[in-house]
């Protein structure tokens, strides 16, 4: 016999044997012979039973997740000498790793020819994906040395239990006893952040202030909300003798936009949630577009398909969100009666909510930045400057577009809150209060 990808010789038992067990379990399995020199010379061992015991205890206590079901120890006579043989099968919960080292290259090993070598971070991620599927929340976290001071305090203040049993039922600990990515998101070691920037005026040219929120997602949400609310100015207006205080942004809209950005973002990307505060608007940009099969109209109707089901469930238990699918409708309702309406923009990889400043005036111009009014939409509004109502045919003739284009244009303007639909069917017509 010679050493190769599935055969390893060891002169004597050492703690390093764990690395080889891990490598075989993460690769195609293999056999370790204790009592044979690297060149294949059989020298045997003096106390085979003691070595079997040491090997068993070392594997049980030092390798995560539990790999003992895939390792079998035995003693064989070779050339009249006792040799300890450890047969390792490929495990079903790769990657296996040295418990004290964690899910990092210094703790995860694979076979490369006849050698045991550290796995690359890419290889580790691929193994996690193969065994955990595409669900980010339930996959094993690369970082296993986690603490939960923030989330424990949050649960305690709300008189909700958060012990080892709850960590399992909530999805923070997987069936193999290791922490999931959900646990990492809620831990004090969370690597994802919220980045906030304040700008002068309505363009991203001059920074006034920058802020980055770190730690558990729960802490990030609280601190980001408090920061935004600190700059959410209250302005007074008078109706006769009555004074009416009015914040720049509805509190409910800020809260729901922030929670939406946290609960629905795609955490398989490392990019931060971005919040940009301008004089006339706030933008919340989240990595990850809509879940496959969903469109904006579904969101506006209150249909919700959670990308992070377990995270949403925890936020629901903590009463941060009241019910699935109510966030966006609540944002739109908080601007009821306002000229400028919130805007939703979606690409394949990002989702943006824009909240207009309610105290920036009631003119058409005040809404242009928030709603990105196009030239065609401005043309439709100019038509309504001298007509009380318009119908689809008016748009076709005045702007010179096809029937299909006119329908899409009117539908989009209605979604933005620029037009109000009156009637239905062939009698449908549109009006505006924006002029």
**pLDDT of amino acid 181:** 93
Co-location of 394 and 318 in the same domain: no
Number of domains in the chain: 3
97 has a pLDDT exceeding 90: yes
- Give the mean pLDDT of the chain: 87
CATH number of the domain that residue 38 is part of: 3.30.950.30
Strands (E) located in 57-193: 63-64, 71-78, 81-88, 97-98, 109-112, 115-118
Q: Which of 80, 106, 132 is the last residue of a domain?
A: 132
Co-location of 363 and 411 in the same domain: no
> In this structure, is the dihedral angle defined by the CA atoms of residues 333, 335, 340 and 341, taken in order, positive or negative?
negative
Residue 418 to residue 412: CA distance in whole angstroms: 9
CATH number of the domain that residue 391 is part of: 1.10.10.10
Q: Residue 347's closest CA among 287, 409, 406?
A: 287
Co-location of 405 and 265 in the same domain: no
Q: Residue 21's closest CA among 74, 77, 73, 76?
A: 73
321 has a pLDDT exceeding 50: yes
Please check whether residue 186 lies inside any domain of the structure.
Answer: no
Please check whether residue 319 lies inside any domain of the structure.
Answer: yes
427 has a pLDDT exceeding 60: yes
Residue 354 to residue 359: CA distance in whole angstroms: 15
Collect all residues with Cβ–Cβ distance below 8 Å to 411 and sequence separation of at least 6. none
Lowest mean pLDDT among 12-21, 183-192, 200-209: 200-209
When comparing pLDDT for 188 and 372, which is higher? 188
**pLDDT of amino acid 226:** 95
Lowest mean pLDDT among 3-12, 269-278, 417-426: 417-426
Please check whether residue 21 lies inside any domain of the structure.
Answer: yes
Q: Residue written as tokens 């079998």? A: 72
Residues 153-162, mean pLDDT to the nearest whole number? 90
Note down the domain range covering 399: 373-431
Within a 10 A sphere around the Cβ of 83, how many other Cβ atoms? 22
Query: How is residue 179 annotated by DSSP?
Result: B
Residues 242-264, mean pLDDT to the nearest whole number? 89
Query: By percentage, how much of the chain surpasses pLDDT 90?
Result: 49
Q: Which of 83, 101, 132 is the last residue of a domain?
A: 132
Please check whether residue 122 lies inside any domain of the structure.
Answer: yes
Strands (E) located in 273-341: 273-277, 281-287
Residues 405-431, mean pLDDT to the nearest whole number? 85
> In this structure, is the dihedral angle defined by the CA atoms of residues 179, 22, 115 and 50, taken in order, positive or negative?
positive
Lowest mean pLDDT among 127-131, 210-214, 277-281, 354-358: 127-131
Please check whether residue 150 lies inside any domain of the structure.
Answer: no
Lowest mean pLDDT among 160-169, 214-223, 250-259, 298-307: 298-307
When comparing pLDDT for 172 and 386, which is higher? 172
Please check whether residue 163 lies inside any domain of the structure.
Answer: no
Q: Are 373 and 380 a contacting pair, CB within 8 Å?
A: no
Residues 49-78, mean pLDDT to the nearest whole number? 93
When comparing pLDDT for 416 and 151, which is higher? 151
DSSP 325-388: T-HHHHHHHHTTT-SS--EEEE-SSEEEEEEEPTTS-SSSHHHHHHH---HHHHHHHHHTTS-S
Residue 335 to residue 250: CA distance in whole angstroms: 8
Residues 17-21, mean pLDDT to the nearest whole number? 95
Q: Which of 115, 132, 149 is the last residue of a domain?
A: 132
| Segment of 130-144, 156-170, 290-304 carrying the highest mean pLDDT | 156-170
Co-location of 70 and 88 in the same domain: yes
Co-location of 252 and 383 in the same domain: no
Q: Residue 338's closest CA among 249, 252, 429?
A: 249
**pLDDT of amino acid 403:** 86
> In this structure, is the dihedral angle defined by the CA atoms of residues 118, 121, 126 and 132, taken in order, positive or negative?
positive
Beta-bridge partners for 110: 117
pTM for the model: 0.65
CATH number of the domain that residue 216 is part of: 3.30.565.60
Co-location of 359 and 387 in the same domain: no
133 has a pLDDT exceeding 60: yes
Residues 174-179, mean pLDDT to the nearest whole number? 84
């Amino acid at each position: 016999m010679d050493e190769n990808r599935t055969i390893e010789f060891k002169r004597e038992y050492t703690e390093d044997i764990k690395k080889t067990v891990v490598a075989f379990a993460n690769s195609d399995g293999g056999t370790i012979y204790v009592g044979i020199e690297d060149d294949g010379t059989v020298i045997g061992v003096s106390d085979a039973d003691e070595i079997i015991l040491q090997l068993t205890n070392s594997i049980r206590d030092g390798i995560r997740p539990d790999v003992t079901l895939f390792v079998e120890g035995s003693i064989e006579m070779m050339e009249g000498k006792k040799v300890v043989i450890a047969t390792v099968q490929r495990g079903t919960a790769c990657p296996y790793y040295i418990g004290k080292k964690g899910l990092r290259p210094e703790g995860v090993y694979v076979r490369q020819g006849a050698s045991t070598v550290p796995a690359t971070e890419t290889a580790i991620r691929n193994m996690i994906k193969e065994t955990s599927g595409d669900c980010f929340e339930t996959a094993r976290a690369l970082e296993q040395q986690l603490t939960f001071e923030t989330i424990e305090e949050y649960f305690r203040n709300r008189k909700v239990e958060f012990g080892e049993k709850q960590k399992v039922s909530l999805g923070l600990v997987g069936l193999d006893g290791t922490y999931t990515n959900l646990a990492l998101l809620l831990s004090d070691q969370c690597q994802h952040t919220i980045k906030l920037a304040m700008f002068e005026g309505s363009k991203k040219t001059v920074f006034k202030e920058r802020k980055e929120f770190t730690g558990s997602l729960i802490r990030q949400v609280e601190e980001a909300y408090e920061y935004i609310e600190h700059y959410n100015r209250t302005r007074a207006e008078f109706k006769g003798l009555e004074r009416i205080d009015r914040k720049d942004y509805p509190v409910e809209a800020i809260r729901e936009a922030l929670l939406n950005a946290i609960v629905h973002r795609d955490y398989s990307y490392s990019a931060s949630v971005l919040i940009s505060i301008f004089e006339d608007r706030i933008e919340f940009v989240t990595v990850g577009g809509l879940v496959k099969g969903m469109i904006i109209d579904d969101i506006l109707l209150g249909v919700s398909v959670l990308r992070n089901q377990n995270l949403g469930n925890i936020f629901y238990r903590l009463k941060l969100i009241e019910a699935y699918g109510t966030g966006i409708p609540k944002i739109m309702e908080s601007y009821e009666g306002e000229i400028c309406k919130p805007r939703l923009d979606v690409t394949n990889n990002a989702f943006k909510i824009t909240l207009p400043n309610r105290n920036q005036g009631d003119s058409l111009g005040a809404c242009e930045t928030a709603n990105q009014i196009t030239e065609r939409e401005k043309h439709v509004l100019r038509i309504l400057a001298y007509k009380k109502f318009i119908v689809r045919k008016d748009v076709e003739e005045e702007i010179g577009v096809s029937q299909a284009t006119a329908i899409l244009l009117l539908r989009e303007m209605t979604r933005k809150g620029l037009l109000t639909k009156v009637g239905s069917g062939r009698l449908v017509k549109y009006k505006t209060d924006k002029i």
